[in-house]
Structure 1
Amino acid sequence: MSAAIMRTLHPITLAEALKVRREKLARLVDFPIALWSGRSSARNFPANTYPFRASSHFLYFAGLPLENAAICLEQGKLTLFMDDASAASALWHGELPTRNAIAQQIGADAAYPLAQLQAMVKDCATVLVQDSASCHWQSQVLNRAIASADGAKGNDLALIHAIATLRMTHDAAAIAELRHAADVSIQAQQAGMAATRTAKTEAEVRAAIEQVMMANNMTTAYTSIVTVHGEVLHNNQYHHELQLGDLLLVDAGTETTSGWAADITRTWAVSGKFSPTQRAIYDIVLLAHDLCIATIKPGVEYQEIHLTAARMIAEGLVDLGILRGNPTDLVEMDAHALFFPHGIGHLLGLDVHDMEDFGDLAGYAPGRQRSDRFGLGYLRLNRPLQTGMLVTIEPGFYQVPAILNDRARREKYGDVVNWDRLAEFSDVRGIRIEDDVLITATGTEVLTAALPTRIEAIEQLISGN
């Protein structure tokens, strides 16, 4: 934990928010809890590590990205366990805040060195930390194996349910951080659009985007997707040259110093002007995007939002002559998934795919399971929407060779796809439009609305006019 990060936070606000979260947890569970922050992992030798990222569950209750630390939560009280930095570490890392100073900032009720951890948390419930060293440490301290969410039992499982309940919706402190992440992400995307005017490769656009994040003392919330091959859904290659006829799909969002994420996707023409075929498909995706957001309000089923997008995409493709048939029937037979194979979005918070380390336990309401349908199997969230939830809405259109060239699917959908007509849209590899949508008591607030989605506005940003 650097002194610079400590100075950017507001101790009173932070401590008060954390206290309320602890008190809410205490009303849901009546047993002690231990949570670990995690440790950095060596990249190629011990002193050269990957950037450290604390466990999100630890961050939710401790507030600060402390490395090699643990907390105990019981009846609304927080005990911090961490060692003070050694005198020798000041040579390499400078003077660091003491354990007691950090405890005061986060409103801890007590603070102890790590040597006392095992004696004081041995009967605690916990959740699995992602890095292997911390998993081993958890097992040693608690003297038992720690299972992942799909294998958790007893108090560990009850704790997972309680944390999922709390993190499902966001308090004012979290929303402030999420707004900040969204604002910087908008600036970063705008920088990417401007850079496209002169960039020769995807890597140059990526550099412009991530420079804005770094200049705001933030990092990426996930590995940025900056690609002319938008048909590769999570494309992390950046070596391709930008050609005037290409569409560039950019999925990039920031993470604040305390771990809160944004997630934005825009697709634009490298030349600054969409071709007629690109415009036609983009308008379909945008219509689905806008209608989904307009439909959102508390109580609406997220799966219905997904199906709304699926029907709008199917209808648009029928109008273009790419699909044949009734749009509702086409969705029932999952024909839309040939071009829109993923879900409409996901939860967003401390993780860009929030709480997906819990598997479907957080994303799916009790009693619900993932569908084995082609058009529903990748739906990450299947719950009624609640006030305070933050979700992404990200419809798309993709020509994925692994899907469209699959023999079984070509046979199944041969009568409903006009392959000759589809070939006329070969300059549309992939289009996605994604925004971060907060559910309010009366409807929605789009945290990322300041970044345009309309073609004309995007073309102006690319051209600089």
Structure 2
Amino acid sequence: MQLSDRPTVSDSLADTLRQRRQRLAFPGSAVLWSGRSSSRNFAANTYPFRASSHFLYFAGLPLPNAAIRLEAGRLELFMDDPTPTDILWHGDSPRRDQIAAEIGADAAYPLSRLKAFAEGAATLPVIDAATRLQQSQLLDRMLTPSTMLQGIDRELAEAIIQLRLSHDDLAIREIRRAAAITVAAHEAGMAATLPAKTEAEVRAAMEQVIMAHNTTCAYTSIVTVHGEVLHNEHYHHPIQVGDLLLADLGAEAPSGWASDVTRTWPVSGRFSSTQRDIYDVVLAAHDQCIQAARPGVEYRDLHLLAASIIAAGLVDLGILRGSVEALVEMDAHALFFPHGVGHLLGLDVHDMEDLGDLAGYAAGRTRSERFGLGYLRLDRPLQVDMAVTIEPGFYQVPAILNDSERREEYKDVVNWERLAQFSDVRGIRIEDDVLITEVGSEVLTAALPTEATKIEQLVQNAST
């Protein structure tokens, strides 16, 4: 990491990091590793490095091949200074003592000294296997993926979760920064759509904005006319008049804090009547869920609210039959809205999901086996300074709608002939980043319109 590549943060970084570790309610010592880059095909050709988010939360800087030890509010940094070979190939970079001063470490040592300090420490396994093996060897116990944490490691995870569920001022500022860049990227994508021939051209216009701000994508961008594929990562499809383009793309600040936004717009610059009808149903669910979000509200209830609004809208359009309450109870809405209404947002776009459901689900809660609730990523009450996404959607997924068992189960409540009239709607999702405040919520990505007419204007403005 060259001096010029360092993430830009405020002078309060050391103070913020000190406050985080002092608030960590864990009685013992903990060692957290940053991880290392993995090779694409040969050793020197690596994927971009991304530090473990748990390390990053307390260390503040994306330091490769480093570790920190936390105990009683103290932080000790373990990393090696750059070698002459490192400097030759990658340029000069800060020394261990410089970094220790910047992050407010209480002591700093070479990485070789870590073993002498790590006995009896708790940890969280990193994702990359090479570092996880190193962790296991140094701590003299086999570490499995984070979803199988036991003993002191699980206690550490639970303590970190409680700390990270609500964001401090520095974190919120960085999320705002990522959100602002994400808004600009989506505007660029809409402006690039009319002259574009393929999804790849729109993706390029959006990611160019992110790169120009010296940030990265928080996840693999979804830019597709096949919005029914929830995580589409292919960009070769042509975009044609009559198509809807779904773009789910977010920036990650150099500090690691993420944004996550989805918009769906007509390639021609104007929704068809059927597309507009479905779009307005999804938008109503989006708006009412955000309006209902406030401290103490159960996120599961927001999901069920979205389900009810979508079911009601589809009844009004003649696609579903029956009472809204009964339709949601039998999960008929999930034929078209199979995923959860959103997730935690923070240092990861799906924050702390490396810990499985430990972060997303409150103590004592487990995932439902219901069709309409099984993909709910967050099931706990909202709290002040928590960041979440709100992202209802409507999809015509062939694997769901053409499944013979489901067609039989829902034959009396789905008007398949009427649904066929909406064949030009493959998928619509509307997603914003929402910060829970003391009195309600704030949409951090509100600068990007959601109303259909304003979306149309942003696309059409490219030709004027």
- Show the counterpart of 2:442: 445
- Show the counterpart of 1:17: 16
Alpha-carbon shift at residue 148 of structure 1 (Å) = 2.9
- Show the counterpart of 1:261: 258
For 2:388 and 2:239, the matched residues in 1 are separated by 32
Alpha-carbon shift at residue 232 of structure 1 (Å) = 0.4
For 2:286 and 2:8, the matched residues in 1 are separated by 36
- Show the counterpart of 2:114: 117
Equivalent position amino acid for 2:394 in 1: F
- Show the counterpart of 1:381: 378
Alpha-carbon shift at residue 370 of structure 1 (Å) = 0.4
Does residue 199 of structure 2 align to residue 202 of structure 1? Answer: yes
- Show the counterpart of 1:65: 62
For 1:168 and 1:454, the matched residues in 2 are separated by 31
Cα deviation digits, residues 258-279 of structure 1 (max 9, x gap): 1100000000000000000000
- Show the counterpart of 2:409: 412
Alpha-carbon shift at residue 420 of structure 1 (Å) = 0.3
Alpha-carbon shift at residue 39 of structure 1 (Å) = 0.5
Does residue 357 of structure 2 align to residue 360 of structure 1? Answer: yes
For 1:150 and 1:234, the matched residues in 2 are separated by 22
Equivalent position amino acid for 2:267 in 1: V
Equivalent position amino acid for 1:429 in 2: R
Does residue 187 of structure 2 align to residue 180 of structure 1? Answer: no
TM-score normalised by structure 2 residue count: 0.99
Equivalent position amino acid for 2:386 in 1: M
Does residue 176 of structure 2 align to residue 165 of structure 1? Answer: no
Matches within 5 A, 1:316-335: 316-335=313-332
Among 300, 303, 307, the residue aligned to 2:304? 307
Among 330, 347, 354, the residue aligned to 1:350? 347
Equivalent position amino acid for 2:135 in 1: Q
Alpha-carbon shift at residue 7 of structure 1 (Å) = 6.7
Secondary structure in 1 matching 2:311: helix
For 1:14 and 1:236, the matched residues in 2 are separated by 36
Secondary structure in 2 matching 1:380: coil
For 1:440 and 1:62, the matched residues in 2 are separated by 26
Equivalent position amino acid for 1:98 in 2: R
For 2:179 and 2:8, the matched residues in 1 are separated by 18
Secondary structure in 2 matching 1:344: coil
Secondary structure in 2 matching 1:354: coil
Equivalent position amino acid for 1:384 in 2: P
- Show the counterpart of 1:42: 39
Among 197, 220, 224, the residue aligned to 1:223? 220
Alpha-carbon shift at residue 147 of structure 1 (Å) = 2.9
Equivalent position amino acid for 1:184 in 2: I
Does residue 220 of structure 2 align to residue 240 of structure 1? Answer: no
Cα deviation digits, residues 344-384 of structure 1 (max 9, x gap): 00000001001001111110011111000000000000001
Cα deviation digits, residues 226-263 of structure 1 (max 9, x gap): 00000000000100001010000000001011110000
Among 386, 394, 398, the residue aligned to 2:395? 398
Equivalent position amino acid for 2:33 in 1: W
Equivalent position amino acid for 1:54 in 2: A
Number of aligned residues: 462
For 1:86 and 1:417, the matched residues in 2 are separated by 67
Cα deviation digits, residues 154-183 of structure 1 (max 9, x gap): 211110000000111100010000000000
Among 24, 27, 30, the residue aligned to 2:27? 30
- Show the counterpart of 2:4: 4
For 1:201 and 1:7, the matched residues in 2 are separated by 34
- Show the counterpart of 2:140: 143
TM-score normalised by structure 1 residue count: 0.98
Equivalent position amino acid for 1:444 in 2: S
Secondary structure in 1 matching 2:127: coil
Equivalent position amino acid for 2:295 in 1: P
Equivalent position amino acid for 2:4 in 1: A
For 2:126 and 2:230, the matched residues in 1 are separated by 27
Among 271, 275, 278, the residue aligned to 2:272? 275
Cα deviation digits, residues 7-35 of structure 1 (max 9, x gap): 7233x31101000000001xx11101000
Alpha-carbon shift at residue 122 of structure 1 (Å) = 2.2
Gaps of 5+ in 1: none
For 2:358 and 2:395, the matched residues in 1 are separated by 29
For 1:19 and 1:53, the matched residues in 2 are separated by 22
Does residue 283 of structure 2 align to residue 286 of structure 1? Answer: yes
Equivalent position amino acid for 2:281 in 1: I
Cα deviation digits, residues 190-236 of structure 1 (max 9, x gap): 00000102110000000000000000010000000000000000000
Equivalent position amino acid for 2:324 in 1: P
Equivalent position amino acid for 1:86 in 2: T
For 2:101 and 2:125, the matched residues in 1 are separated by 27
For 1:415 and 1:15, the matched residues in 2 are separated by 62
For 1:6 and 1:302, the matched residues in 2 are separated by 36
Gaps of 5+ in 2: none
For 1:135 and 1:325, the matched residues in 2 are separated by 52
Secondary structure in 2 matching 1:266: strand
Moved more, 146-155 or 369-378: 146-155
Question: After TM superposition, which residue ranges in structure 1, 4 or more long, deviate above 6 angstroms?
Answer: none
Cα deviation digits, residues 376-428 of structure 1 (max 9, x gap): 00000000110111000000000000000000000000010000000000000
Secondary structure in 1 matching 2:459: helix
Alpha-carbon shift at residue 94 of structure 1 (Å) = 1.1
- Show the counterpart of 1:83: 80
Equivalent position amino acid for 2:15 in 1: E
For 1:439 and 1:161, the matched residues in 2 are separated by 21
For 2:256 and 2:126, the matched residues in 1 are separated by 16
Secondary structure in 2 matching 1:48: coil
- Show the counterpart of 2:335: 338
For 1:147 and 1:164, the matched residues in 2 are separated by 19
